[in-house]
C-alpha cells in the first residue's frame, strides 16, 4: 500500500521522500554527527509517522559520501563532448573508446548523437574495465552496451513499455475557468487543452459563467511505475450556461461529440485566447464603447495591448487598413456568406487579398481609432447582417467517417459512462 502510494507520487516527491528516508537512517545508525544532535534521536522518540524537529549542521558532502555506495558512475554530456572526450575524463584508454564505439548490435550509432545534458551510466569491474554502459535516448528507449570480452562489446536498445493510467478531474467555476482548473488538479497544459477541445462551441473569454462545470478523464504516463509525463485527454464534458458539450478522443487523435460530429467547426467562438482576457466573466464589466451613439454590434474583448488576435475561420482578407474610427482593422471573408471583422488592432499581420487559416494570427490587440481603452472589437456577419456568433446557425460539423463509426461509438459509450460514474463518485464525496 505504502509502496503503491509512493509510486503514484510525482518524481520530485519520491526523490524527497527517498532522501529523507536515507537521512533518517543515517541519523539512527551513524555517529558522524555532533553529540548535541544525537540527543534528538534517542530511540524512544522514533515512532513511525512522527516528524521530529532536528537541527543539524550537515554538509552536502557528508550526506553524499553516505548516499553514494554504488559502483555505477553517471556522466553528464557536456557541450562539444564525444565518447573519446568522456572516456578521457574517466581515465579510460583510447582502445576502450575504440572497442566500445565498434560494438556489434543495434543502436551503437546513437553514441554519435549525444547531446549536452544527456547522461551515461557506466559500471566498472574491479580491474576498472567497463561492464556495461547505459545511455537513455528517450523516455522509452535505452542504449545498452555490454562487455563480452575486453576487446569486444555488444549493443542493444532496450524498450520500456509506457503504461497509461486514467485520472479524473472535475470542477465548478466560481471565479474563472483557470482557477477552477487549477483547483481540480489540472496542469496549465491540460487547462489549455480542455479550452482548445471546446473552443469551437464555447467562448472561454466571454461566455464562461459562475456555475459552469467540467468533468474530464485524462491519462498519466508511467514507465516501471514511475511517472514520466501527462497523456491525452480521453473524454470531457463541459456544461456552459446550462448547455452540455461532450467530447471523446478518437484513435486518430481528433475529438468528436457524443453524437459523432467533429468538435472542430468552421468558426472558433473567440478570436482571442481566453487566458489573455482580463476577466473571464464579470457582469459589471466596464464596456469601453458603451458611450457610442451607434448601436453596438459586436463583442469586445478587453486584454493587454499586443495580445495575438487570430482568424476565427479559414478565409480571405478583404480589407486590411486604417481609419480614425476603426483604427487598424482587418475584415475576413469566409466562403460566400460569412464575414468577420477585427477592429482597433495595434498591428496588422496580414495584407488585403491574402488567404488565412483558422487560428492564424492576423494582428495584435490595440487601442487605435475611437476607443477609450485597449480592446478588440469583433463582429460576425452572415449575409451582411450582424449576428451573435454564439446563437447564429452555422454549418454543421463533419461527422466521423462511416468506416470509423463502430469503433468510435463503442469507445465513446465506455468513456462517457466512466465520466458519469466519476461525477457520481465525486458528488457523493462532497
- Kindly determine how many residues on this chain lie close enough to bind Zn ion according to the rule CB under 5 A: 4
Runs of H (alpha helix) within 68-115:
83-89, 94-101
Chain centroid to CA 160? 22
* Closest distance to Zn ion from the beta carbon of 278 (Å): 15
Q: Which residue is nearest to Zn ion (CB)?
A: 377
289 vs 392 by CB, closer to Zn ion: 289
Q: Which of 288, 298, 285, 305 is nearest to 370 (CA)?
A: 288
Q: Smallest distance from the beta carbon of 304 to Zn ion, in angstroms?
A: 17
> Least Å distance between CB 210 and Zn ion?
24
Q: Minimum CB separation from Zn ion for residue 214, in Å? A: 29
SS3 (DSSP) at 418: helix
Site for Zn ion in 112-151 (CB under 5 A): none
Tell me whether residue 265 or residue 341 sits nearer to Zn ion (CB atom).
Answer: 341
Distances, alpha carbon 208 to alpha carbons 4, 199, 214, 250, 274, in Å: 39, 12, 11, 26, 10
3-state secondary structure of 156: strand
Nearer to Zn ion, 370 or 414 (CB): 370
Q: From residue 271 to residue 310, what is the string marking binding to Zn ion with x (rule CB under 5 A)?
A: ------------------x--------x-x----------
Please name the residue that has the C-alpha cell 496549465.
Answer: 188
Integer Cα distance of 406 and 392 in angstroms: 32
Q: How many CB atoms lie within 10 A of CB 313?
A: 24
Q: Which stretch binds Zn ion (CB under 5 A): 321-329, 363-371, 373-381, 419-427?
A: 373-381
Q: How far apart are CA 46 and CA 52, in angstroms?
A: 9
Cβ distance to Zn ion smaller for residue 141 or 379: 379
Does 157 help bind Zn ion (rule: CB under 5 A)? no
Say which residue the cell 562539444 belongs to. 80
φ, ψ of residue 262 to 5 degrees: the values are -60, 140
CB of 371 to Zn ion, least distance (A): 8
Nearer to Zn ion, 284 or 294 (CB): 294
Taking the complex as a whole, the smallest distance from the CB of residue 291 to Zn ion amounts, in Å, to: 11
Q: Is 377 in the site for Zn ion (CB under 5 A)?
A: yes
> What would the grid cell of residue 356 be?
488565412
Nearer CB in complex with Zn ion: 44/290: 290
For the CB of residue 400, give the shortest distance to Zn ion in the complex, in Å.
38
Pairing of strands 152-159, 104-105: parallel
Residue whose cell numbers read 483557470: 178
- Provide the minimum distance between the beta carbon of 377 and Zn ion in the complex, in angstroms, as a whole number: 3
The set of cell numbers assigned to 389 is 456568433
Cβ proximity of 399 and 260 under 8 Å? yes
Closest distance between Zn ion and the C-beta of residue 272, in Å?
13
Can you list the pairs that 367-371 forms with residues at least 24 positions away whose Cβ atoms lie under 8 Å?
367/305, 367/327, 368/322, 368/326, 368/327, 368/328, 368/344, 369/323, 369/324, 369/325, 369/326, 369/327, 369/328, 369/329, 369/343, 369/344, 370/292, 370/324, 370/325, 370/327, 371/288, 371/289, 371/327, 371/344
d(CA 233, CA 167): 9
Name the DSSP class of 94.
H
- Give 136's strand partners: 142
Cβ proximity to Zn ion, 198 vs 342, nearer residue: 342
In whole angstroms, the minimum distance from the beta carbon of 282 to Zn ion comes to 16
Beta-carbon count within 10 A of 293 CB: 4
Return the half-sphere exposure (C-beta side, CA atoms, 13 A cut-off) of residue 281. 19
Site for Zn ion in 236-275 (CB under 5 A): none
Residue 252 grid coordinates: 486518430
> Does residue 344 bind Zn ion (CB under 5 A)?
no
Find the shortest distance in angstroms from Cβ 366 to Zn ion. 13
Whose Cβ is closer to Zn ion: residue 334's or residue 377's?
377
The residues that touch Zn ion, with contacts defined as CB under 5 A, are: 289, 298, 300, 377
Amino acid at each position: 500500500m505504502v509502496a503503491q502510494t509512493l509510486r503514484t507520487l510525482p518524481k520530485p516527491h519520491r526523490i524527497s521522500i527517498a532522501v529523507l528516508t536515507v537521512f533518517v537512517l543515517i541519523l539512527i545508525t551513524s555517529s558522524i554527527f555532533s553529540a548535541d544532535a544525537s540527543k534528538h534521536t534517542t530511540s524512544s522518540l522514533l515512532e513511525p509517522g512522527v516528524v521530529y524537529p532536528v537541527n543539524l549542521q550537515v554538509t552536502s558532502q557528508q550526506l553524499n559520501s553516505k548516499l553514494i555506495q554504488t559502483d555505477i558512475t553517471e556522466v553528464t554530456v557536456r557541450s562539444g563532448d564525444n565518447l573519446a572526450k568522456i572516456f578521457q575524463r574517466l581515465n579510460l584508454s583510447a582502445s576502450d573508446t575504440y572497442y566500445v564505439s565498434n560494438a556489434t548490435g543495434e543502436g551503437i550509432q546513437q553514441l554519435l548523437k549525444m547531446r549536452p545534458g544527456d547522461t551515461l551510466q557506466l559500471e566498472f569491474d574491479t580491474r576498472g574495465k567497463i561492464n556495461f554502459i547505459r545511455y537513455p535516448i528517450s523516455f522509452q528507449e535505452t542504449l545498452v552496451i555490454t562487455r563480452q570480452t575486453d576487446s569486444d562489446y555488444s549493443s542493444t536498445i532496450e524498450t520500456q513499455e509506457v503504461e497509461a493510467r486514467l485520472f479524473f478531474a472535475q470542477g465548478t467555476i466560481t471565479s474563472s475557468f483557470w482557477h477552477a482548473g487549477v483547483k481540480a488538479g489540472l496542469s496549465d497544459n491540460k487547462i489549455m487543452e480542455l479550452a482548445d477541445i471546446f473552443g469551437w462551441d464555447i467562448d472561454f473569454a466571454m461566455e464562461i459563467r459562475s456555475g459552469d462545470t467540467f468533468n474530464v478523464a485524462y491519462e498519466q504516463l508511467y514507465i516501471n511505475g514511475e511517472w514520466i509525463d501527462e497523456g491525452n485527454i480521453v473524454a470531457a464534458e463541459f456544461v456552459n450556461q446550462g448547455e452540455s458539450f461532450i467530447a471523446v478522443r478518437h484513435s486518430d487523435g481528433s475529438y468528436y461529440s457524443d453524437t459523432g460530429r467533429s468538435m472542430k467547426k468552421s468558426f472558433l467562438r473567440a478570436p482571442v485566447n481566453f487566458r489573455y482576457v482580463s476577466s473571464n466573466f464579470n457582469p459589471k464589466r466596464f464596456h469601453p464603447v458603451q458611450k457610442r451613439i451607434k448601436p453596438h454590434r459586436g463583442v469586445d474583448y478587453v486584454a493587454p495591448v499586443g495580445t495575438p488576435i487570430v482568424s476565427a475561420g479559414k478565409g480571405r482578407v478583404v480589407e486590411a487598413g486604417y481609419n480614425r474610427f476603426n483604427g487598424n482593422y482587418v475584415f475576413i471573408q469566409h466562403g460566400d456568406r460569412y464575414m468577420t471583422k477585427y477592429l482597433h488592432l495595434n498591428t496588422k499581420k496580414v495584407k488585403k487579398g491574402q488567404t488565412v487559416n483558422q487560428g492564424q494570427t492576423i494582428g495584435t490587440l490595440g487601442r487605435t481609432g475611437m476607443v477609450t481603452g485597449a480592446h478588440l472589437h469583433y463582429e460576425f456577419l452572415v449575409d451582411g447582417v450582424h449576428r451573435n456568433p454564439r446563437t447564429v446557425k452555422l454549418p454543421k460539423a463533419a461527422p466521423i467517417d462511416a468506416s470509423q463509426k463502430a469503433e468510435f461509438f463503442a469507445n465513446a459509450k465506455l468513456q462517457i459512462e466512466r465520466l458519469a460514474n466519476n461525477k457520481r463518485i465525486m458528488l457523493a464525496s462532497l
